[in-house]
Amino acid sequence: MQMRQLGASALKVSAIGLGHSMGASDFSAAGQKEFNTLIARALELGVNFFDSSDAYWNGRHEEWLAAALGDVRRAVVTSKFGNITLPDGSKATNARPEYVQACCEASLKRLDTDCIDLYYLHRVDPATPIEETVGAMARLVEQGKVKYLGICEAGVSTLERAHRVHPITALQTEYSLWCRDAEDDVIPACRKLGIAFVGYSPLGRGLLTGNIHSFDDLAPNDRRRIHPRFHEENLKRNLELVARMRQVADRLGLTNAQLALAWATSRGEDIVPITGTQRAGYLEQSAAAAQVQLSPEDRALLESIFTREARAGTRYPEEMLPGLGI
């Protein structure tokens, strides 16, 4: 597995990371056993970058990750705070300084550790100046509870302001062949400041795998049902792009998912995609994809298929978009 330095930090991470599954999980004993197998296989494959959050499975993901990794932490573990689900299912943010400390203490307990390698603000809170939030996060570093700081889904101005308070190691946002908006200004800003870019959903939330053929393929409780890219009026057009992508994948002897990941890992040594599979077999395919070297011609061909004008639907529902890129 190729390794990459995470920004200006001392952290060395695998060329791909492993996050949580976006779908519903099996929270039974059998489900946890499968999760343990996944983490063990990831370590065997050289994947050492694990992405979590207090928002994932209501904190259970942190607990399971800690149990699966055990006492020997041969891994770089990240977590996040500030992205809240309200009782009615709607989303909210909280990045007030006092909340920062409380969230970190709770995550440390669930992760069964005394220090988190990389701690992200999960979503920017428009009601709290970023300087106050990052100031509180910096105190966690001073206390030895966090090694490095990150921020998710931030705009360039917010990133720059945060970085002036305390060095930001990584910015995380959605990035895939289908979603390349970060190339406009966010990735250039990260490179200017020496900040790593961590791209989540490199498979377009499953769209790029070619395994989704209609809206009905999504389970009734699948959160992707609220995402416009999967609505029937948009999905048909998006799947036409995926079909063209499959022609390239077939020629190269790859699956669609592998090709999508190979493209994401090819975008620079400072970019680390994180995948969210829960199956060891799919993870093995992902690890193999991280070793694929795409030609400049194939990269250009893929990018010519997935242009901004060609894709259909927004990456989040319209009502959620104002909370992104702040």
Confidence at residue 90, expressed as pLDDT on a 0 to 100 scale: 80
The answer to the question of residue 78 being in a domain is yes
Confidence at residue 58, expressed as pLDDT on a 0 to 100 scale: 87
| Tally of structural domains, the chain | 1
The answer to the question of residue 277 being in a domain is yes
CATH number of the CATH domain containing 282: 3.20.20.100
Mean of pLDDT values over 196-225: 92
Confidence at residue 134, expressed as pLDDT on a 0 to 100 scale: 98
Confidence at residue 24, expressed as pLDDT on a 0 to 100 scale: 57
Confidence at residue 223, expressed as pLDDT on a 0 to 100 scale: 86
> Among 198-202, 214-218, 260-264, where is mean pLDDT lowest?
214-218
Question: How many whole angstroms separate alpha carbon 115 and alpha carbon 98?
Answer: 19
Does 282 participate in catalysis according to the annotation? Answer: no
What digits encode the pLDDT tens for the residues 270-279? 999 999 888 8
The answer to the question of residue 13 being in a domain is yes
The answer to the question of residue 280 being in a domain is yes
Q: Check pLDDT > 70 for residue 22.
A: no
pLDDT band at 23 (very low <50, low <70, confident <90, very high): low
The answer to the question of residue 136 being in a domain is yes
Of the residues 56, 99, 175, 316, only one is catalytic, namely 56
CB atoms under 10 Å from CB of 90, counted, come to 10
Confidence at residue 319, expressed as pLDDT on a 0 to 100 scale: 86
Helix residue spans in the chain (DSSP H): 29-44, 60-69, 97-111, 130-142, 156-165, 186-193, 232-252, 256-265, 280-289, 296-305
The answer to the question of residue 29 being in a domain is yes
What digits encode the pLDDT tens for the residues 101-129? 999 999 999 999 999 999 999 999 999 99
Mean of pLDDT values over 156-168: 98
Instruction: Output the average pLDDT for the chain.
Output: 94
Write the Ramachandran bin of 266: left for phi over 0, alpha for psi from -120 to 50, otherwise beta: alpha
Confidence at residue 74, expressed as pLDDT on a 0 to 100 scale: 77
pLDDT band at 15 (very low <50, low <70, confident <90, very high): very high
The answer to the question of residue 320 being in a domain is no
Which residue range is the domain that position 120 belongs to?
A: 3-205+260-295
Confidence at residue 78, expressed as pLDDT on a 0 to 100 scale: 97
The answer to the question of residue 75 being in a domain is yes
Six-digit token string for 167: 């060095």
Q: Check pLDDT > 90 for residue 320.
A: no
Using an 8 Å Cβ cutoff, are 24 and 57 in contact? Answer: no
